[in-house]
Amino acid sequence: MKAGKPLRVLFTTSECAPWAKVGGLGEISAALPPALRALGLDVRVLLPCYPSVRACARGARSIATLDAEFGLPAARLLRATLPGEVPALLLDCPALYMRDGGPYVDANGADYADNALRFGLLSRVAARLASAGSPLRWRADVLHCNDWPTGLAPLYLSGLPDPAGSVFSIHNLAFQGLFPLSEAGSLGIPAGALHSDGVEFWGRLSFMKAALRYADRLCAVSPSYAREILDAEHGCGLEGVLRERSADLVGILNGIDSALWDPASDVHLARCYDARSLAGKRVNKRALQQEMGLQQNDDVLLCGMVTRLTDQKGVDLVLDALPALLERPLQLALLGTGDAALERAVADAAAAAPGRVAARIGFDEGLAHRIEAGADVFLMPSRFEPCGLNQMYSQRYGTPPIVRATGGLRDSVTDFSEAAVRGGEATGFVFDEASADALRGAIERALAVYGRPAVWRTLCRNGMARAFGWDRPALAYRTLYASVRARR
Ligand code: ADP
């Protein structure tokens, strides 16, 4: 590696917005690579060629045929360009990726039965491209993997000639990629790794554990989450492995795409606004009330929520607190999709309080923006939250978040106090215990401040002034990559 050449990074991911997005990982994969390229790094994104990716990646052309792996037909690499002029490498293996449904689940919401193979191949190809066996002239200095679908890559890389350094980002430890240990053979995992000091986790094959063991450096998506996963409560059984690797683990808070999430230019809104024209927010509140069938009322505290409906996100706490909250001048607008039982419970809550509680079950990008803009406060009572994006969006939109003190929520929201709001620090309301009562207490605090318009406006403006862009995280990733390269 000659001095002065830009650092080459292969950013490997199972989702990348706008071509394929399930959650936060898709957004981060879209935003971090261009921010790194703006710093002069040569970053390329590797992702599977799902139907949605193929449809978006116009002009994609084949640049290499890959050696056949795992008894599959030979796959191809396509070259395309992501928005933001980021070069993309698409792993084209139609037998694995060209399916109805999402990146991980079929049209009925069930995991694909061959996910080990689907993401084993992604990991394998990533490792090949980052080693001497690469079919491309371009060779990565650093392989950056993300979450369990890329978890086997550091393991494969460790067995290949002249490997790049590897970084593994933990976006959510709760999803681990667990499969029968019997799949290890067909994935070419060496027998020497099939023990609890390797990839075995309680009798199963763990993609996540493979990464935690074999990556050179580990990164969690917020400093608090990086600490929390060392304990049993948030370590999901992997806290022991993580503690052994704690010297190699850092926390870097994600940024947000501040062009896409900007109330001053958001195409989804009824009226754009900024910190000087907060009155425009009232127009969005009325429009949201109308769109969601809520009573037109300027004076109620309109609580917004956009979320996957899973236990993690604490939607049940909101539902439990709702009867008492509805005694107060308050409305709830919720958009979400996920567990069938929670979807039903949310729909029932809306049916029981028409005009006060409104729910949309589904995925709706535009409505997510309109809730951020139209709500007065944004609820995130998560049991755990590796980073979370919506609390950052809501601050930018002048919609103070009400969050539980966990992970990235703790790192990105400053709790209200008289002194903190005057000093420009307070941006929302933070509570500790994962209970309906604690959530209700925080909402009561918000209601009290909401009744003091001048203080409320200061709180909103404090959040709008926060810089959550990707430039700062990108610098931290650059430092992390440099530390890996130095080890080689
Ligand atoms: P997670 O990745 O755990 O789902 P994040 O807050 O990090 O949570 O990111 C989720 C992203 O997906 C946010 O941008 C959020 O607005 C978006 N999102 C989640 N559910 C929906 C939905 N039903 N409709 C539209 N956007 C959604």
Q: Name the residue at shortest CA distance from atom 12 of ligand 1.
A: 23
Between the CA of 283 and the centroid of ligand 1 the distance, in Å, is: 24
Tell me what pLDDT residue 178 has. 98
Pocket perturbation via mutation, ligand 1, pick of 225, 363, 364, 372 by most ligand atoms within 8 A of CB: 363
Omega into 386 within 30° of 0, i.e. cis? no
Q: How many angstroms from the chain centroid is the CA of residue 33?
A: 15
- Which tens digit of pLDDT belongs to each residue from 93-132? 999 999 999 999 999 889 999 999 999 999 999 999 999 9
CB 263 within 8 A of CB 397: yes
Between the CA of 214 and the centroid of ligand 1 the distance, in Å, is: 30
Q: How confident is the model at residue 5 (pLDDT cuts 50, 70, 90)?
A: confident
**Sign of dihedral through CA atoms 296, 302, 308, 314?**
negative
Q: How far apart are CA 14 and CA 150, in angstroms?
A: 7
- The response to whether residue 307 sits with its C-beta less than 6 Å from ligand 1 reads yes
Q: Return the biggest CA–CA distance within the chain.
A: 68
Whether pLDDT at 1 is above 80: no
Q: Which amino acid appears at position 349 of this protein?
A: A
Q: Name the residue at shortest CA distance from atom 4 of ligand 1.
A: 23
* Residue 24 Cα: closest atom of ligand 1: 2
* Residue 387 Cα: closest atom of ligand 1: 7
- The response to whether residue 24 sits with its C-beta less than 6 Å from ligand 1 reads yes
Q: How far apart are CA 140 and CA 37, in angstroms?
A: 14
Indicate the pTM of the whole model.
0.93
Summary mean pLDDT of the chain: 96
Map residue 81 onto helix, strand or coil. strand
- The response to whether residue 255 sits with its C-beta less than 6 Å from ligand 1 reads no
Between the CA of 318 and the centroid of ligand 1 the distance, in Å, is: 17
Phi and psi angles of residue 16, each rounded to the nearest 5 degrees, phi first: -155, 115
CB 149 within 8 A of CB 466: no
